[in-house]
Amino acid sequence: MADLCRQIDLPVSCEFLGLQSYGDATTTSGVVRITSDLTRPIAGKDVLIVEDIVDTGLTMAYLQEFLKTRHPKSVKVCALLHKPERMVQPVTIDYLGFTIPNVFVVGYGLDYQQICRNLPYIGVVEDPVEAKKP
């Protein structure tokens, strides 16, 4: 998010919204839970959702519908990664970094059970038990 914001040459403000559908698992539960809500209104504003990864599309579809109830001027999606093989609910990604195969990835903000977010690269978790070792 910080890297992206530094590249946008417009006046922007950033808000953070927490959603969870994985919990501590490596596959989605299918149930989206809001863990942290916006602190400012978005009515009449152009909104860019910045997402780390879109795989099933369920969370993104939920988020888009949720935000529409707050009457923004527009809503667009920017995702670093996309796993089209896992897509269950089609969503439009307006700005996409990379398309990846159906593998579980960590690093550069992506986590496994709240670890590995701080890796300066994106890596594939082949053995979840090994990922938890210090």
Above 80 in pLDDT, residue 133? Answer: no
Q: What is the DSSP string of 45-74?
A: SEEEEEEEEESSSHHHHHHHHHHHTT--SE
What is the number of structural domains in the chain? 2
| Pair 33, 98 in one domain | yes
35 and 60: one domain? yes
| Res. 127 pLDDT band, cuts 50 70 90 | confident
Per-residue pLDDT at 21 = 76
The verdict on 61 and 115 lying in the same domain is no
Based on the domain organization, do 42 and 7 belong to the same domain?
Answer: yes
Query: Could you say which of 37, 55, 94, 111 is catalytic?
Result: 55
Residue 68 and residue 30 share a domain: yes
Which of 66, 3, 7 is CA-nearest to residue 34? 66
pLDDT at 22 (0 to 100): 59
Q: What is the mean pLDDT of residues 113-127?
A: 90
**Domain span at residue 117?**
104-134
Taking only the tens place, the pLDDT of each residue in 10-53 is 999 999 998 887 555 555 556 888 999 999 999 999 999 999 99
Claim to verify: residue 63 and residue 122 sit in the same structural domain: no
Same domain as 55, residue 6: yes
Q: Which two tokens stand for residue 117?
A: 């977010």
The proportion of the chain whose per-residue pLDDT surpasses 90, expressed as a percent, equals: 75
Q: What is the pTM of this model?
A: 0.84
Establish whether 24 is a catalytic residue: no
